[in-house]
Structure 1
Amino acid sequence: MEICTICDHLWVKITNNLPKYVPVIRKQLRIPQPIRASPCRPSVALSAAQIQSPVQCSLLLLLAAAAMAAEASGRKDATITGPADSTELREQLMTEGNMKKDLEASLPAAQDSFAIRCRDVCRSYGKLKVLTNLNLTVPQGQIYGLLGPSGCGKTTLLKCIVGTLKISRGHITVLGKPPAFPGHEVPGKMVGYMPQDLALYNEFTISDTLTFFGRIHGLTSKETQVRMNFLIDFLNLPQKNSLVRNLSGGQRRRVSLGAALLQNPELLILDEPTVGVDPVLRAKIWQHLVEIVKTGKVSVIITTHYIEEARQANMVGLMRNGHLLAEGPPDAVMKQHSATTLEHAFLQLCESSDQNSTQESSSESETLEKSQMFANGRDESQPILAVGPPPVEDVPKCTADWKVRARHILPKGRNIRALFIKTMVRMKRMPGSLCFQFLLPVIQISLICLCVGGDPKGIKVAVVNNDSYPPSSSFSQSLLTFLDNSSVIQVPLPHKEAFEGVHKGEYWGVIGFGQNFTNYLTKRILQRQVSKEVIDGGSVHVWLDLTNRQIGLMLQKQLHQAFQAFVDYKMGALAYLAALPIKFEEPIYGSLDMDFTTYVTPGAVLSISFYLAVGLTALSFVLERKEGLLDRCWVAGVSSMETMLAHLFSQLFVISVQIILMLLFVLLVFKMPNEGSLFLVICLIVLQGVTGISFGLVISAGIDDEQSANQAALGIFYPNLILSGIIWPVECIPYPLRYLSLALPQTYASESLRCIMYRGWGMSEMMVWRGFAVTLGWNTFFLILATVILKLRT
């Protein structure tokens, strides 16, 4: 027997085995006079397995199988007289409380016959407490109606029961074991879950939807087909080939209910299943629920806003502000509060709960002093309250060997296969989107090859030619003929107008020849000693607008090449006399005519493969979570690792097609050189795509909305593009940033791809295998990080 002092949140607990004491002491420990209830004093609760003598108290409760069996008042004019033994007292209380039939019909005798048991459950989101010391019991083979207003914590409680949310404190047992216990199929095949959201794939047909969940639950094709035919007929669904997106709201909700009923689960959890359903079908659903629980093997917990609808349940729990106000058979709850409707009883419980909360807050300052007085042996008369956490022994102890734990951790092939087929079916139902995904990288790499790195064309340059020689024999006119007319457009102008045109932005420079250019240039070539006047008059004077450096460099290159061609033409065998004493031999790697496009293309291919994979994975994952599809899959027994692997394999198919199309255009259409192994080229690009998928999983695991996911993906695009040596050499980056550049996933990979394509190197070279090693390292890191984030968030 226990004597407890309840001091708001403080317990002073004295445990005594009264039968061991002499009768005098036992009499002193009991309360001989009626106890007066007072909100300003601590309360006393006495518990005993047997009652052998009368006890006068304010309230006497009889508990059976973790639920209240009877309640009787201990008023002065209605003192309970103790019968000969506890059995007679049980019969007397159950008769007086008028609850015997309801108790026998609703409460099982053994603890193992409970489907769900929640003990002292708490769940918080930061500082927000959603569930507070909640105790709930769902008997096996019965329908339990969970009632409560929106925001009271019903959906959170259901997610904790099915194992998709972890509780902050307390214990939950579902079908004999805690949720997510190794080897326990909760979440999994043993539970059927219909979330409040529809959580259906709009691109699926009814047949696709039920087949998908059948694969996850391990049903054979024949079993799935039999159940599908029954559910379509029972739920009055349209043809099984009807697309979900074309169904009405009520039809979609029935499809969602069918997915929960598909595998004949032992536990059925339905969150608002009858919203938007016509009364005839609602009655039919309740009739079916009553029929499946008659076997005693199926238990149902159902939430609903229709309070009177819950009278069809065997038991109801009235929930408010994160805890249960009452739990029991519907008729018993109404009789206990003298209510004619369940809604009226709920209203009384809410009002009583508000009053108790006010009284408890007003007496908080005195409870500690009173509890100390009682603990010191003072005779204080206080009300008795049956309040307190359940004993720890009430929670079953479960263990699993290492083999069961290993099977629980390792991904299941059937789940990965089901998720992979699901993604492929969705792609097939969106051909426009799929074609866009395939063509987008081809368009991007084509634009890069066509628009980046080439020489400028059609550059206007003003020419001031004051050479006095006739045009047919002047060196100035002959030199101008060697300029590439497609790149440089020559506009003859007087000196003043030419410079005014440059100042106005009409021309990119001025090329000027002196009056005696031909004579002075001849003297410079033939005479050993010449004056400064001859040197200046025999030179080509160029004034450039270098605000665009690429155009300025191109003009300088064109003028040098034109002059060298002019000298070769005029001097013939003696051209070497006017040439620079520097001779560029045949390049060891590459060719003299390689342009900037050749440098950019390998890094661009890797970048496109990486970032398209990031965007596709991040958005698809985020959208599935937002629509509740991921939660439903996890309740069906799919793990986060299986989800990621399925996404990896399905997106790998997409990026493989993208890479093949890109390489066809790069190598065949734009004639980019490839001196190395095509196999190594494909492997490195595919690895970069897989790394992009892994990074997309990290983004989607940590972010819940599309806008933030897009911002995260785009936010790292330009820094990575600039620092990875894709558009400009890493050697140009200052050293503090160069260390960061070398740590990025694409820096060494871009260098490795250039070495394979342009130098013909293989895996024996460090600059090649280093790119593969860094890519694999980042891929592994991203996968582990995504798994950890998903595990923590689920």
Structure 2
Amino acid sequence: MTAVEVRNGYKFYGRAKDPNKKIILNYLNMNVAHGSIYGLLGASGCGKTTLLSCLVGQRQLSSGQIRVLGMKPGNPGSGVPGPRIGYMPQEIALVEEMTVKETIFYFGRIYGLDDDEVQDRYKILRDLLELPPSGQLVRKCSGGQKRRVSFACAMVHEPELLILDEPTVGLDPILREKIWQFLIEKTKNSKLAVIITTHYIEEARQADCIGLMRNGILLAEDTPTNIMIRFESNSIEDAFLLLSQRQGTSEEADRRTFIREKLSAIASPDLKEKNDDVIIPEIERKDSIRRSKCSQDRKVELRNKIFFTSKSRMKALLTKNLVQLTRQPSGIIFMFLFPILQLSCFYLAIGNDPKDLNLGVVNYEIDDPKYCFNESLVTALSAEDTCNFHKISCRYINGFDSTLAKKVYYKTTEEALLAAKRTDVIGYIEFARNFSESMQRIIDDGRFTDEESFMSSELKVRIDMSNQQIAFFVERRLREVYQQFIEGLMVDCKLPKNLGNIPVQFRDPIFGSFHEEYREFIAPGVVMTIIFFLATLITAAVFITERSDGIWDRTLVAGISTFEMLVAHIFLQSGIMFFQCLEVIFYIALVFDVTNHGDNLSVIILLTLTGFSGMLFGLLISVYCKTHTMANFVATGAFYPMIMLCGLLWPIEGMPGILRDVALLFPFTIPTVSVRNILSKGWSITNYQVYNGFLIMLLWITLLFICCIIGLRRKG
């Protein structure tokens, strides 16, 4: 039985009936013997990498059959993908943040080895491949050093089949020769089969069998010596050129021509030259040892099994994820300081009184504004039964200081209006010339006061309403000052506090000041969006990086399932998100004195579920986006509609009915209301308007998880 057998392998991209479909493998037949080195040669783009990905179970043939170690790749119990093969891809496919030793241990644990076994294998490979120092980070290694580490990762578990895609690129000739001698020695004394692709065609003369490939067709498959004899050439490279010229243009192979059985490499004369009397008993002995060892490993694996994975594999994945996060200072800052920074910006910028405003003052009651600042000025003088007012407009002006606005004095209303139009001032207040006398008549005459006095006693205010929030603030503060002004007059004149004959009505707020209520209204939504999209960005960045660097595919080839990788990431990220939620809750409580009238635990759990949902959304983005740029576009495109429509900036009750129904479907529209009800009203999780937020978030988590699994399987 051969180690690898491909029969009529056909692979194309596009539609089957499309005459312009891209043919990658063209009815290819291939045999790789146990205990041999198979050199797969061909120019870039001829289909070598695609063929290897089919052998390791990452891609499927459009038609034809593949048998690897006697079974179809991907079948249960085949060990492919898994520990029966070692795979070194063309790209480096290593975690840049890990050290050399951690990288070897990562792959060793994935393959099911315990730490002592990995340590022993590491020492052997370190000396053989002249690996960099154990504590050196992979990102600080040279290109040649990274390839040696990558090769060691493929060999750490002593596989039955070793697949090397361009392993010697970037290595010096001495080290290339050393690797070839190691492979030759290994295949002579064991059943190990090696498939190696290389651009250095002449070094493939050391292989036991060579397959010459061009445009998806295997032109020849034989020993190096036989190929050179057949084509009467002095080198493998010359023979390859002759074959390429004969094969001609890239057309689809004739099925009747290429559906045939080729001689396996093990049947070639040169392979028979090996001393079978010595090799065969040795191979049988090692096979017996390997079978015994595999049986023991299987028992250990079953003991260490945790539901769908094992302790060593989960330890490897969690260690990798933790190292990736902790060894990037920017990542740590982004994860733990970003929420603090965002919330600080929110609470410092939103809900505070506007400052540095200019307010115009037109006071016809006095000629010089300095008159109002005369310390000896008495504005209300109480006698036995009367109270005389004198320039009480000054009393009102002095009632508010620069915390409200800086006062800018104008002589006429026209000047103040022109300044307001130029936006030099936010607005202006105007006092009539007989303001004090008119107020005096209102108090003295009550409802019999003449209309002119009522008009003259009015405080005329004109505010620029183009900025409604500032205008509302100024109007509210002016009313507060006016109320204090009236109350002060009544106290000085010893008048009853409840004067029905003063034509002023003050609208007292129900739940405090406007800016405080507005901040309390939008704060839960701000916190939830921070948690949600922070998790989205981190998850999308991690998985896209792993895919682009080849780490994802290499881990899959090692036998790890997408579900295991997803669970490992969820496990670590859930812990981080829980800590972030604790951090957020205690930070706003201690620093900004935000009172939670409800249960902190309920808020933390709901925020954690929000981050969990955001993490799955990030994973879904990474499944369909190949680059960070595209992922950022998608995340940003989703962010703004959710922010505008989730009720964060304005209550959803103010939206049209159809738009409101759409907004209710967003992942944190209803949960934001739940958090708001917990914080502001103190409602518990038993209340419908609280637990419905939990239900909606759990529904979104389930939906996103299903979409992620479907997408990963389709992409895989």
The residue that corresponds to 1:89 in the other structure is: none
Inter-partner Cα distance in structure 1 for 2:168 and 2:179: 8
Q: CA deviation at 1:183?
A: 2.4
Counterpart amino acid of residue 405 in structure 2: V
1:408 is displaced (CA, Å) by 13
Quick check: 1:461–1:489 contact (8 Å CA) kept in 2? yes
Residues 224 and 386 of structure 1: CA distance in aligned 2, closer, same or farther (over 3 Å): same
* Change over 3 Å in CA distance of 1:390–1:702 after alignment to 2: farther
Give per-residue Cα distances to partners, 1:240-269, cap 9 Å, x unaligned.
222222222111111100000000000100
1:344-402 Cα shifts (integer Å, max 9, x gaps): 221221111117969x99xx9xxxxxxxxxxxxxxxxxxxx8543679xxxxxxxxxxx
Give the distance between the partners of 2:509 and 2:649, measured in 1 at CA. 27
Match of 1:510 among 414, 422, 428: 428
**Cα-to-partner distance string for 1:496-532 (whole Å, 9 max, x where unaligned):** 4322221221101110011111222333343213443
Q: 1:117: which partner in 2?
A: 5
**2:385 match:** none
In structure 1, the residue matched to 2:437 is 519
**2:628 maps to which residue?**
706
Largest Rg, 1 or 2: 1
Q: 1:583 to 1:726 in 2, by over 3 A?
A: closer
The alignment partner of 1:686 has SS state of helix
Instruction: Name 1:629's counterpart in structure 2.
Output: 551
1:82-121 equivalent positions in 2, closer than 5 A: 113-121=1-9
Number of the residue aligned with 2:275 = none
What is the correspondence of 1:463-478 to structure 2 with a 5 Å cutoff? 463-467=361-365, 472-473=378-379, 474-478=391-395
Correspondent of 1:455 among 353, 361, 368: 353
Q: CA deviation at 1:160?
A: 1.1
**Between 609-618 and 467-476, the greater mean CA deviation after superposition:** 467-476
Within-5 A mapping of 1:504-583:
504-525=422-443, 526-572=445-491, 573-577=496-500, 578=502
Code of the aligned partner of 1:205: T
| Pairing partner for 1:694 from 616, 634, 649 | 616
Per the TM alignment, residue 781 of structure 1 is displaced from its structure 2 partner at its CA by 1.4
Q: Determine the structure 1 residue equivalent to 2:259.
A: 388
Distance in 2 of aligned mates of 1:585 and 1:272: 75
2:113, 2:312 within 8 Å by CA — same for their partners in 1? no
- Determine if contact 1:613/1:692 at 8 Å carries over to the other structure: yes
Deviation at 1:582, TM superposition (A): 8.3
Q: CA deviation at 1:417?
A: 2.6
Distance 2:81 2:459 in 1: 84
Distance change in 2, residues 1:721/1:488 (3 Å): same
Query: What is the match of residue 166 of structure 2?
Result: 272
In the other structure, the counterpart of 2:295 is none
Aligned pairs (5 A) from 1:19-34: none
In 2: Cα distance, 1:576 partner to 1:165 partner: 88
Cα distance in structure 2, aligned partners of 1:125 and 1:647: 32
Give the drift of 1:736. 2.4
Aligned-partner Cα distance in 1 for 2:250–2:603: 73
- Partner residue of 1:176 out of 61, 70, 75: 70
* Separation in structure 1 between the aligned mates of residue 624 and residue 659 of structure 2, nearest angstrom: 27
Q: 2: CA distance between counterparts of 1:432 and 1:783?
A: 28
Amino acid at match of 1:120: N
Query: Is residue 785 of structure 1 aligned with residue 679 of structure 2?
Result: no
* Paired residues, number: 643
| Matched-pair contact (CA < 8 Å) for 1:411–1:641 | no
Say whether the 8 Å CA contact 1:439–1:658 is kept in structure 2: no
CA contact (8 A) 2:27 2:258 kept: no
Q: 3-state DSSP class of the match of 1:757?
A: helix
Q: For 1:578-617, what per-residue CA distance to the aligned partner results, in whole angstroms no more than 9, with x for missing partners?
A: 4877886975xx8888332222221111111111111111
Distance change >3 Å, CA 215–CA 467, structure 1 → 2:
same
Aligned residue identity for 1:708: M
Alpha-carbon distance in 1 for matches of 2:312, 2:698: 27
Q: Which runs of 5+ in 1 are unaligned?
A: 1-112, 365-384, 392-403
Q: CA deviation at 1:722?
A: 1.2
Runs of 5+ consecutive residues of structure 2 not aligned to the other structure:
15-20, 263-301, 373-377, 380-390
CA contact (8 A) 1:316 1:327 kept: yes
Q: Please identify, of 165-174 and 347-356, the stretch whose mean Cα deviation from structure 2 is larger.
A: 347-356
Contact persistence 2:647–2:669 (CA under 8 A): yes
Q: Is the 8 A contact 2:317 2:565 kept in 1?
A: yes
Give yes or no for contact 1:568–1:575 (8 Å, CA) kept in 2.
Answer: no
The answer to whether the 8 A contact 1:454-1:595 is kept is no
Do 1:142 and 1:296's aligned partners in 2 also have CA atoms closer than 8 Å? Answer: no
- Contact 1:622-1:706 within 8 A present in 2 as well: yes
Structure 2 CA distance for aligned equivalents of residues 147 and 746 of structure 1 = 55
- Separation in 2, partners of 1:597, 1:484: 25
User: Structure 2 vs 1, CA of residues 764 and 582 (structure 1 numbering), >3 Å: closer, same or farther?
Assistant: farther
Q: What is aligned with 1:399? A: none
Task: Find the aligned partners of 1:343 and 1:770 in 2 and give their Cα distance.
Answer: 71
Deviations 1:619-644 (A, max 9, x none): 11111111111111111111111111
Greater shift, 701-710 or 431-440, is seen at 431-440
2: distance between equivalents of 1:583 and 1:556? 11
Determine helix, strand or coil for the equivalent of 1:167. Answer: coil
SS of the counterpart of 1:173? strand
Change in 2 beyond 3 A, CA 1:293/1:618: same
Instruction: Check conservation: 1:621, 1:697, Cα contact below 8 A.
Output: yes
Q: Is the 8 A contact 1:131 1:322 kept in 2?
A: yes
- Greater alpha carbon shift after TM alignment, 693-702 vs 660-669: 660-669
Q: Do the aligned partners of 1:604 and 1:726 also contact (CA within 8 Å) in 2? A: yes
Query: Aligned pair 1:481/2:410, yes or no?
Result: no
Q: What TM-score results when the alignment is normalised by the length of structure 2?
A: 0.85
Q: Relative to structure 2, which stretch is displaced further, 654-663 or 510-519? A: 654-663
**Aligned equivalent of 1:748:** 670
Q: What is the CA–CA distance in structure 2 between the aligned matches of 1:172 and 1:252, rounded to whole Å?
A: 31
Shift of 1:232: 0.1
Give, in whole Å, the separation in 2 of the partners of 1:386 and 1:196.
Answer: 32
- Structure 1 residue 463: Cα displacement: 0.5
Name the CA distance, whole Å, in 1 between partners of 2:479 and 2:311: 66
Whole-angstrom distance in 1 between the partners of 2:485 and 2:471: 21
| Residues 299-351 of structure 1: per-residue CA shift (max 9 Å, x gap) | 11000111121111111111111121111222222222222222222122111
Find 2:320's aligned residue among 422, 429, 440: 422
Taking a change above 3 Å as real, the CA distance of residues 519 and 581 of structure 1, as seen in their structure-2 partners, is: closer
- The residue aligned with 1:354 is 248
Q: Which amino acid aligns with 1:118?
A: V
Deviations 1:753-778 (A, max 9, x none): 01111111111111111111111111
Aligned to 1:639: 561
Q: How does 1:581-592 map to 2 (within 5 A)?
A: none
Q: Say if 1:409 and 1:160 are closer, same or farther in 2 by CA, change over 3 A.
A: farther
- Deviation for aligned residue 1:294: 1.9
Please name the residue that 1:145 is paired with.
39
CA distance in 1 between partners of 2:356 and 2:447 (Å)? 40
Contact 1:188/1:638, CA 8 A, preserved across alignment: yes
Q: Are the aligned partners of 1:468 and 1:516 in contact in 2 as well (CA < 8 Å)?
A: no
The residue that corresponds to 1:500 in the other structure is: 418
* Contact 1:741/1:747, CA 8 A, preserved across alignment: yes
**TM-score normalised by length of structure 1:** 0.77
Counterpart residue identity of residue 420, structure 2: V
> In the aligned structure 2, how far is the partner of 1:428 from the partner of 1:548?
45
What is the SS of the residue equivalent to 1:764?
coil
Is 1:648 aligned to 2:576, yes or no?
A: no
> For residues 682 and 579 of structure 1, what CA distance do their matches in structure 2 show?
50
1:135 aligned to 4, 19, 29, which one? 29
632 and 666 in structure 1: CA distance in 2 versus 1, 3 angstrom threshold: same
Q: Is the 8 A contact 2:351 2:515 kept in 1?
A: no
Distance 1:389 1:556, change over 3 A: farther
Residue in 2 that maps onto 1:257:
151
Q: Secondary structure at the match of 2:354?
A: coil
Q: Deviations over 1:205-245 (max 9, x none)?
A: 11100011111111011100000000000001232222222
